[in-house]
Amino acid sequence: IKAIIAKNQVTHFISVPALYRAIIGELAREEAASLKIITLAGDRLSPDLLEITRKKNRNIEISHELVIATADLYQDEKSEFDL
């Protein structure tokens, strides 16, 4: 993934925070220069990950989307539609 970001000058990237942490940690500042918007979802976003990102590229905009789903909600929807 690191090589693809660098080679193709990727500008937008969507990931879970753990994968993004592994990737941004391996990118050189020059390789991270093309990144503009990072969307992270599925888990908490730690403040230190923001700091790591800022050290690589101060212009990256991070969008964090955390959606909570429960089995109860799924069960209610499932029974309503008789699946």
pLDDT tens, position by position, 52-64: 999 999 999 999 9
Q: Which of 10, 21, 6, 12 is nearest to 63 (CA)?
A: 12
Please give the pLDDT value at position 65.
86
Spatial distance between the Cα atoms of 81 and 83, rounded to a whole number of angstroms = 6
pTM for the model stands at 0.77
Under the banding of pLDDT at 50, 70 and 90, the label for residue 28 is very high
